[in-house]
Amino acid sequence: MKKLYAIFSLVLLCLVLSPLPSPQAGGEEVMKVQSAIEVLDEIMAIPETSIPPSLLSEAYGIAIFPGLLKAGFIVGGRYGVGVLSVRDEKRNWSNPAFFTIMGGSLGFQIGAQSTDVVLIFRTVRSLDSITSGKFTLGADAAAAAGPVGRRAEASTDLQLKAEILSYSRSRGLFAGVSLEGSSLQVDDKSNSAFYNMAGLTPMQILTSREIAAPPIAANLRQALARYANP
């Protein structure tokens, strides 16, 4: 009995002294990337209301903001965290960099609404601006509501050479939407958590193949290649 008690005490002592497992690094960020993949899959599943494949195939970069929250009473605002991936010279997609999107609006409104937002970057210049720091749609680069559907041809917005096309999905409805005045900013905290490394810049994330990323990053690259590569 004494021997059994001694063994039990030793096991208990080991359990007490053993460090508790730490939470998975970047757990929330991994879920955010997974949500971005699901948003893209669901949008492209319905050809009649999807982003035209021709626009995706020509895009230099794509940003997806799942579950952007719009809320307010009289004065409203929107906020969300999402990911941006860009193409390299071989047209391969990069690992994701995290950004926040913020904007405000005036008018009588009440309640809250969750919206998915997709941004299509059509020029290198617009990407250079966003990766350098804070960026405002419509001010730092021309932005316009994008056309939907596989049969969508060049619209007025496209003829105006908009650098960024914006889309939103809310309550099952997907359409081009104007997000002028919304600001995009690097989310350093999310980037550090996802890559388990502090001090990373967006350019390092988007251009380097040396930085280790969670497996979900490869899933996102594959999803983008599936829809955006000709």
Residue 139 has what pLDDT?
Answer: 83
Note whether 135 and 181 are within 8 A (CB).
no
Which tens digits make up the pLDDT trace of 12-33? 333 333 333 334 556 999 999 9
Environment class of 227 (CB within 10 Å of its CB; exposed 0-12, middle 13-18, buried 19+): middle
Query: SS3 string of 154-195?
Result: CCHHHHCCCCEEEEEEECCEEEECCCCCCEEEECHHHHHHHH
Q: What is the mean pLDDT of residues 194-208?
A: 93
Specify the pTM. 0.81
Q: Is 148 helix (H, G, I), strand (E, B) or coil?
A: coil
Which tens digits make up the pLDDT trace of 52-105? 988 899 999 999 999 877 654 444 566 889 999 999 989 999 999 999 998 755
59-96: buried (b, 16+ CB within 10 Å) or exposed (e) per residue?
A: bbbbbbbbebebebeeebebebbbbbbbbeeeeebbbb
Residue 49 CA to residue 86 CA, distance in Å, equals 24
Which has the minimum average pLDDT: 9-23, 134-148, 150-164, 166-180? 9-23
pLDDT at 46 over 60: yes
Query: SS3 string of 5-62?
Result: HHHHHHHHHHHHHCCCCCCCCCHHHHHHHHHHHHHHHHHHCCHHHCCCHHHHHHCCEE
